[in-house]
């Protein structure tokens, strides 16, 4: 069994225990919660910009990460999953990509959690800024993270729209 499937199974097992903030739960699709999560992602982007303008760049990293994360939660709710764990959320999206359930490019997984050495991902930057003692982030690094977060949320919004299209219409769509 590959890493994605192994982690997915572990996440489902953890979620079945009912503990808060653990694992995944298979549920009915929740379109209302999916919409709320994408609105939360948009709010996180707005907060990110506000923090940047206020020169609170250490917190920009958290807002950028959570914008990406809430957009992924939107996909999960739409497909009938509830997540209480960041790693499980990201792994399930990887599984959806691998299974061709969603047509999301893998680079977006790398943006939020990199598996390749040398790529700076949002989760690592968020942890560094949130748990470290730095009170600011270098402007160019901050701008790149902000651009990635905006691109990420915009792409997930496209995926959510594509999921609403009838299969025959989406297969005829030219990219």
CA distance linking residue 1 with residue 92, whole number of Å: 15
Structural domains in the chain (count): 1
Residue 97 within a domain: yes
Residue 36 within a domain: yes
Backbone angles phi, psi at 111, to 5 degrees: -65, -40
CA distance linking residue 132 with residue 93, whole number of Å: 28
Residue 60 within a domain: yes
CA distance linking residue 110 with residue 94, whole number of Å: 10
Summary count for the chain: helices (H), strands (E): 8, 2
Average pLDDT, the chain: 86
Over residues 124-147, the pLDDT tens digits come to 777 777 776 666 778 888 898 899
Task: Tell me what the mean pLDDT of segment 154-158 comes to.
Answer: 98
**Which has more pLDDT, 114 or 118?**
114
Residue 63 within a domain: yes
Domain containing 153 — which CATH number? Answer: 1.20.120.330
DSSP state of 117: T
CA distance linking residue 163 with residue 175, whole number of Å: 15
Asked if 156 and 75 count as a contact pair (C-beta separation under 8 A), the reply is yes
Residue 145 sits in which domain range?
3-161
Residue 174 within a domain: no
CA distance linking residue 79 with residue 56, whole number of Å: 36
Q: Is the pLDDT of residue 159 over 60?
A: yes
Residue 173 within a domain: no
Over residues 35-73, the pLDDT tens digits come to 999 999 999 999 999 999 999 888 888 899 999 999 999
Residue 166 within a domain: no
């Amino acid at each position: 069994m590959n890493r994605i499937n192994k982690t997915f199974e572990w996440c489902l097992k953890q979620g079945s225990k009912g503990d808060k903030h653990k694992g995944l739960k298979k549920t009915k699709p929740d379109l209302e919660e999916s919409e709320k999560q994408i609105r939360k992602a948009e709010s996180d982007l707005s907060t990110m910009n506000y923090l940047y303008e206020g020169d609170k760049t250490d917190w920009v990293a958290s807002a950028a990460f959570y914008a990406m994360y809430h957009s992924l939660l939107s996909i999960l709710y739409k497909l009938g999953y509830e997540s209480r764990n960041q790693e499980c959320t990201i792994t399930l999206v990887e599984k959806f990509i691998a299974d061709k359930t969603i047509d999301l490019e893998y680079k977006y997984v790398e943006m939020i959690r990199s598996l390749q050495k040398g790529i700076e991902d949002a989760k690592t930057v968020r942890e560094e800024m949130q748990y470290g003692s730095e009170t600011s982030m270098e402007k160019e690094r901050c701008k790149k993270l902000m651009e990635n977060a905006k691109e990420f949320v915009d792409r997930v919004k496209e995926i959510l729209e594509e999921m609403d299209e009838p299969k025959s219409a989406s297969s005829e769509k030219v990219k």
